[in-house]
Amino acid sequence: MRNGGFTLAELLGVIAILGVIALITVPAINRSLDSGREDLYETQIEQIKKGGEDYYTQHLEEMPSNVGDRACQSLESLKSNGYLPVDIKNPKTNEDFSQLTQVCVEKVGETEFVYSVEEAQ
């Protein structure tokens, strides 16, 4: 006669099924989280580049004048002058970007400029 409870075999079967489901889903969730962090990182880098573009738009005298010349501004300078949010973080490390990180602009053509973010290691 059964009392309405589960047998040990039934409980072990359920635990085994849940274990298999966990083995399948946990790596997929981790990949999804990593992908999200990478996407957020790229978005942050684009935001930093945009802050550099805004800075150099208002400080044309600091733009490189000859092809191949570069000019750089530190991330801290852009933050303190209001071109970037003060609390911008690197989503890969969940820490602030290094104070040594720079936004650089290089003149690559007569009227063409390329912006880059150079992170300190």
Could you report the per-residue pLDDT of 11-66, keeping only the tens digit for each? 999 999 999 999 999 999 999 988 998 999 999 999 999 999 999 999 999 999 99
Residue 106: predicted pLDDT: 95
**Closest to 47 (Cα-Cα) out of 111, 101, 6, 107:** 101
Residue 51: predicted pLDDT: 93
Could you report the per-residue pLDDT of 62-108, keeping only the tens digit for each? 999 999 999 999 999 999 999 998 888 888 888 888 878 999 999 99
37 CB burial (10 A radius; 0-12, 13-18, 19+): middle
| pLDDT category of residue 2 using cuts at 50, 70 and 90 | low
Residue 57: predicted pLDDT: 92
Q: Residue 116, Cβ neighbours under 10 Å: how many?
A: 15
Phi, psi of 71 (to 5 degrees): -140, 145
Residue 62: predicted pLDDT: 92
Phi, psi of 30 (to 5 degrees): -60, -40
**pLDDT reading at 3 higher than 80:** no
For the chain, helix, strand, coil in percent to 5 are 50, 15, 35
Contact residues for 66 (Cβ-Cβ < 8 A; gap 6+): 107
Residue ranges in 59-114 assigned as alpha helix (H)? 75-80
Domain ranges for the chain, please list them. Answer: 8-118
Whole-angstrom Cα distance, residue 76 to residue 54? 15
